[in-house]
Structure 1
Amino acid sequence: MARKARPDLGPLEERIGYAFANRDLIESALTHVSALSTARRAQTYQRLEFLGDRVLGMAVAEMLFEAFPKATEGEMSQRLTDLVRREACADVAAEWGASAYLRLGGGEAKTGGSQKAAILGDVCESIIGAVFLDAGYAAARDLIRRNWSERMLAPKNPLRDPKTILQEWAQARGKEPPNYKEVARSGPDHAPHFTIAVELTGYAPAQAEGASKRAAEQAAARAFMTREKVRDRKDRIVV
């Protein structure tokens, strides 16, 4: 029986900026658990994702330590959290075009698994883990620096998130911390949509929507502060 031809991953490697010596590693890094039987799950990206997550955290922490010599531990921790979060990793995987090379089971493919942030985020970390195993920490660090340096210097999200700003603003006025309530939930289980209201004594509630409870809570806090013209530490109105 003829052996199944291996996929051409050259274009993906060019975008990643790394060519694998061990082809099994990159193929495993692109294989979702749904694509293989239980007996072969060691060949999926699960273990590589676990490893890549730790390598990413180490490399980004090193970058932050070098780039912000006057930053406090708390500030660096906030920056680190933003840079290694699932959405950031999914953005990188999307830029690589990784979704076109994923191996998914039939059910996962039918539900749009190749576009899910959770899967793309995991794949990004699994590729990092694969590079680490193929060529060591220096190669993985170089890949991370190429793809995270600009994000580090120009973050998409505010360094301090809206919920934190709102809570500090409320406490400075002697009020109880804001309370967040789920108002509605819609959509299928694999792609839920939430509506969250934030309540603060003495003010009308503010509502917002998001693809996760956390995202909806942050949006609700931002909506409240925009309406009330809450200012941050640099005297800027939060929008």
Structure 2
Amino acid sequence: MKLSAELKALEARLGHKFTRPELLLRAVTHSSMSSTTREDNQRLEFLGDRVLGLVMSEALLAHDRHASEGQLAPRFNALVRKEACADVARQIDLGDALKLGRSEMMSGGRRKQALLGDAMEAVIAAVYKDAGFEVARDLILRLWGSRIDTVEADARDPKTSLQEWAQGRGLNPPTYEMVKRSGPDHAPVFTIAVQLGNGDSAEATDNSKRKAEQAAAKALLAQLERS
């Protein structure tokens, strides 16, 4: 089959020329666009998640030969979670090539974190099926790049750190509350407040509730360290 201009451009950004271009087309096809003659990317997403996990496990073991399983697990989670996959997808403008049904297109599907993360995993599987594990590993390590070197700082969840800080001082766990939601449905913005039992609090805003909670916890930790 012949690739469209959008898929040829994506192929170039990936740095891999497919011998089976139908795999790339399937990897970018969302379920809203699937039909009896066009498969969606869900099965490839399932496979890509496992390929990514193996590559990251190997990379983390090689990067820190003395780390314990307890140290490696949060680093691994930080590298393979949906947010990380979506960030890499944005880096290569994967959203531009997604094949979406009208409803997903109208609701801003090209920018949705879940769709981007799923498609990134599907693309990894497509490369794996097209050229084998070594090529897929090289692709992943190149696209994830410095994230592997800096993951230790990212892996420590600020919410966990804040909860441990509170428990260490005999306080109840921090509480999180959504103060405000703004923006359109396809691109919401959340403002989250976190509060401790001693009255200390902080707020943060992000387009993901989870990230806003983490940012609020991080801001409160920084505030506590200064006090």
Q: Does residue 225 of structure 2 align to residue 229 of structure 1? A: yes
Match of 1:26 in 2: 24
Cα deviation, residue 188, structure 1 = 4.5
Q: Secondary structure at the match of 1:229?
A: helix
Q: Secondary structure at the match of 1:207?
A: strand
Match of 1:118 in 2: 114
Q: Which amino acid aligns with 2:34?
A: L
Q: Which amino acid aligns with 2:80?
A: V
RMSD of aligned alpha carbons: 2.3
Report the Cα distance in structure 2 between the residues aligned to 1:202 and 1:99, rounded to whole angstroms. 44
For the structure 1 residues 185 and 11, does the alpha-carbon distance in structure 2 shift closer, same or farther, using more than 3 Å as the test?
closer
Match of 1:235 in 2: none
Q: Which amino acid aligns with 2:159?
A: K
Contact 2:108 2:187 in 1 (8 A): no
| Structure-1-length-normalised TM-score | 0.84
Match of 2:192 in 1: 196
Match of 2:215 in 1: 219
| Structure 2 residue ranges without an equivalent (≥5) | none
Equivalent of 1:99 in 86, 95, 98: 95
Report the Cα distance in structure 1 between the residues aligned to 2:110 and 2:194, rounded to whole angstroms. 33
Q: Secondary structure at the match of 1:75?
A: helix
Cα deviation, residue 187, structure 1 = 4.2
Question: Number of residues paired by the alignment?
Answer: 226
Q: Which amino acid aligns with 1:175?
A: L
Query: Could you give the per-residue CA deviations for residues 40-84 of structure 1, whole angstroms, max 9, x where no partner exists?
Result: 56x111111111011101111111011111111122111111111
Report the Cα distance in structure 1 between the residues aligned to 2:3 and 2:165, rounded to whole angstroms. 57
Query: Could you give the per-residue CA deviations for residues 99-153 of structure 1, whole angstroms, max 9, x where no partner exists?
Result: 2222111222223222222222111110001111122222211211222242101
**What is the percentage of aligned positions where both structures have the same residue?**
49
Report the Cα distance in structure 1 between the residues aligned to 2:117 and 2:12, rounded to whole angstroms. 19
Q: Does residue 126 of structure 2 align to residue 130 of structure 1? A: yes
Equivalent of 2:47 in 47, 51, 64: 51
For the structure 1 residues 158 and 173, does the alpha-carbon distance in structure 2 shift closer, same or farther, using more than 3 Å as the test?
same
Match of 2:4 in 1: 7
| Structure 1 residue ranges without an equivalent (≥5) | 232-239
| Structure-2-length-normalised TM-score | 0.88
Query: Could you give the per-residue CA deviations for residues 198-239 of structure 1, whole angstroms, max 9, x where no partner exists?
Result: 2212223323233232212112212222222269xxxxxxxx
For the structure 1 residues 7 and 142, does the alpha-carbon distance in structure 2 shift closer, same or farther, using more than 3 Å as the test?
same
Q: Secondary structure at the match of 1:154?
A: helix
Q: Which amino acid aligns with 1:143?
A: L
Q: Does residue 63 of structure 2 align to residue 67 of structure 1? A: yes
Cα deviation, residue 193, structure 1 = 3.1
